[in-house]
Amino acid sequence: MSSIGLGSYLGQMDEPTDRAYVASVKAAVRGGINLIDTSLNYRHQRSELNIGEALADLFGSGEFRRGEVVVCTKAGYLVPGALPRDGVDPADIAGRMHCMSPAFLRDQLSRSLANLRLDCVDVFYLHNPETQLQHGVSPAEFYRRIETAFRTLEDEAAAGRIRYYGTATWSGYRTPEDQGGLSLDRMLEAAEHAAGPHHRFRFIQLPLNLAMLEGVDASRRAAQSGLTAIASASILQTRLASGLPEQIQANLPGLTTDAQRAIQFARCAPGITAALVGMSNPAHVAENLQVGMVPPAPLTAWFRPAQ
């Protein structure tokens, strides 16, 4: 898996952006980026559809094989135009926006597979599950729902529709558990209850960048537990793409732009396997690819020792 991944969260819901995403995915894969991250709710399914079109062209031409690209998507939020035909039990919905029930997850996975034109996704994330804790679901009920969701995803893995699953979070692993955050240990416990020691809960995703360092303990803990930790928001939705202090520039040598330096920091943070960067423009793909030409930065001195 490449240490830089293509993210697909931002962008207008229009045809010019669609075309730019298709071109960006092709440029990224051709340039050596083989980690692609999306979600059913990104741009109301358009990001998945664009990625599906690009991958179909790359695979159909024989230029690349399916096994050479790691494709990840997510489910959890209610998406306009993508609700199960039989509806969703209101009791399973948190905050009128988030659901993890088995029927809902199976439906969302089917839609994602159709959008992506794939028979299987490599990683299927529960999308910001901490949303449920933030909208009144008790911790006991929350982890019961997590275990039920994990059992569902184990079944989907056994059926060949996913390879692994995980949790993609925003605040979950950066917030203390007593303040509505997630416990990685309890997540692992739920996975073992669902499927024993050979469970397929193998990934976490969390923001980790120059401005958001709170998740480093979770990324370290994930690595120690045999999980793959993926950093999101590497340039914090362009806010870290310019204006970095000179001291940071000096300590991340070999790069020419602040966006590249921010990506370098995120991909080299403790416990992180890869850093995601939104790429809806082929020019940005070309700029980001240059980071992969620079050796990883030793960031040990930037962080306090692991506890």
Say which residues have a Cβ less than 8 Å from residue 201's Cβ, sequence separation at least 6.
150, 164, 165, 166, 187, 188, 190, 191, 194, 227
What CATH number corresponds to the domain at position 244?
A: 3.20.20.100
Which pLDDT tens digit goes with each residue over 7-54? Answer: 999 999 999 999 999 999 999 999 999 999 999 999 999 999 999 999
Which pLDDT tens digit goes with each residue over 66-97? Answer: 999 999 999 999 999 898 888 788 999 999 99
Q: How many domains does the chain have?
A: 1
In a domain, 39, yes or no: yes
Domain that holds residue 241: 4-302
In a domain, 91, yes or no: yes
Strand, coil or helix: 95 = coil
Which pLDDT tens digit goes with each residue over 240-268? Answer: 999 999 989 888 999 999 999 999 999 99
In a domain, 307, yes or no: no
pTM for this model (two decimals): 0.95
In a domain, 34, yes or no: yes
In a domain, 8, yes or no: yes
Q: Is 160 left (phi over 0), alpha (psi -120 to 50) or beta?
A: left
Residue 214: band (very low, low, confident or very high) from pLDDT cuts 50, 70, 90: very high
Say which residues have a Cβ less than 8 Å from residue 86's Cβ, sequence separation at least 6.
103
For residue 293, give both structure tokens. Answer: 């030409």
In a domain, 32, yes or no: yes
**Alpha-carbon distances of 185 from 66, 121, 162, 215, rounded to whole Å:** 33, 25, 23, 15
In a domain, 271, yes or no: yes
Q: Look over the chain and give the mean of its residue pLDDT values, rounded to a whole number.
A: 95
